[in-house]
Amino acid sequence: MPRAEHNISRKDISASAIKVMYRLHKSGYQAYLVGGGVRDLLLGLSPKDFDIVTDAKPEEVKKLFHNCRLIGRRFRLAHIMFGREIIEVATMRGHHDEEKGGHISKRDASGMIVRDNVYGSIEEDAERRDFSINALYYNIADYSILDFANGVNAISKRRIEMIGDPAARYREDPVRMLRAVRFATKLDMTIEPATAEPIYELADTLGAIPPARLFDEMCKLLLAGKAEQNFDMLREFGLFDVLFPELGEFLNNEASEQDLDFIRGALRNTDSRVNSDQSVTPAFIYAALLWPMVEAKARELGTESELSEQDAFQVAASETLDRQQQRTAVPKRFTLMSRDIWTLQFRLPKRGGKRAERLSTHPKIRAGFDFLLLRSEVYGGELVELANWWQRFLTSTGDKRSAMLRDVSGPKRSNRRRRPRRKPQTKTAAPKSDS
């Protein structure tokens, strides 16, 4: 597609990406903006990243840019840094039946690619892309677009289509199933039947993906403004049960409608914050997803043992987080914050004396209160009055705050100890004299 036939302009592309492509081109290499950047620009969206593909090897790219570092073992990539912006440059990939230039590819017994340093031509690189909407290349040499897999047509029909045999491509990299879901919700597209059908059968293959990579993918699914839609689609395909095995079983067999409403409410709240450019954290999402199940486990523990309500909850929380870590490796800073949010749910009802004042300065009080507010909206009861009280307290100062504290603390008691009353001494009559 020559420049006159498409809507992509250089002014819509990151200046840093333009600089990288021009330097590669002037040094005798091919250079293309590729994948999501081209796709989003054609859709009239603002790309989050601008990735580049070239026929230059990673070491050759590094020689051209002093601000470049090479990363990756599975597939070597060049990261070129412009302050906080990183432009990712990949060398065109080839087919795995051809070992080129001493670079080796490797698959495991299931067909999953575990090493991918095979370089090739732009045609081979396009065949290696996952979906047709991502096999689009913007050529800096003449500003044309190369479309190898009818990606422009797929964009116009708003369809997610796998390049090649979908089942084989999912086995190569099971994370592609999560990407299909994410692109469908992000771009408001449908997954065409041949691409969707194998997901039901191959969902379990996600279990072979390293937990750290699955956590990264979950963040993309849950923190990009489409969390509720992704939650529904993951459950529909059976992917959620692989990512959250215990929680999936709980939702399928034990959870109440209120429990599901609570999780959906948290996801909806997160979507609202993302779409209004407010900060979000995986800690709040994980705390909300796991809360109904952990609370149910704690109740069961409490009836079977002599543990207090809070101790039973702490045991249930530890067991659940430890098991979930085996599937999605949540960094410790997030699990600690999730626990803080949960612990605050037990502390917020205790407002007497100086407790409320001390809690108001807790570093996670805002997240803990938001969690309480969400619980009150779904489960109701005494939580409504408690959430309303904290909302007033956290927004009040001075005399008003002091009055609220007096109301929940009751009459002030004196700390002075009373002296015991002495018993009155009885006077004894003086003995009479004999004289």
The confidence score (pLDDT) of residue 98 equals: 42
CATH code for the part of the protein at 1-157: 3.30.460.10
State how far the alpha carbon of 289 is from the alpha carbons of 338, 340, 393, 398, in Å: 10, 15, 28, 37
Phi-psi region of 307 (alpha: psi -120 to 50; beta: other; left: phi over 0): beta
**Contact (Cβ atoms closer than 8 angstroms) between residue 194 and residue 163:** no
Name the catalytic one among 55, 125, 130, 271.
130
Residue that is written with structure tokens 């194998």 in the block: 198
CA distances from 67 to 81, 131, 206 (A): 6, 31, 36
pLDDT of residue 160: 97
What length does the chain have?
Answer: 435
Is 116 a residue of the active site?
A: no
Predicted local distance difference test score (pLDDT) of residue 319: 94
Write out residues in the chain with pLDDT < 50, as ranges. 98-105, 114, 435
Domain ranges in the chain are 1-157
CA distance 306 to 10: 68
pLDDT tens figures, 46-56 = 998 999 999 99
Active-site residue, 188 included:
no
CA distance 270 to 288: 11
Of 40, 51, 147, 259, the catalytic one is: 51
SS3 406: helix
Q: What is the pTM of this model?
A: 0.85
The radius of gyration computed from the CA coordinates of the chain, to the nearest angstrom, equals 31
Helix (H, G, I), strand (E, B) or coil at 34: strand
216 has catalytic annotation: no
pLDDT of residue 100: 44
Rounded Cα distance between 212 and 48, Å, is 22
Which DSSP string corresponds to 186-244? HTT-EE-HHHHHHHHHHGGGGGGS-HHHHHHHHHHHHSSS-HHHHHHHHHHHT-HHHHS
Alpha carbon 428 to chain centroid distance? 87
Query: DSSP code of 411?
Result: S
Would you state the structure tokens that stand for residue 179, as one six-digit string? 């990407």
Mean of all residue pLDDT scores within the chain: 90
Identity of residue 367: A
CB 376 within 8 A of CB 334: no
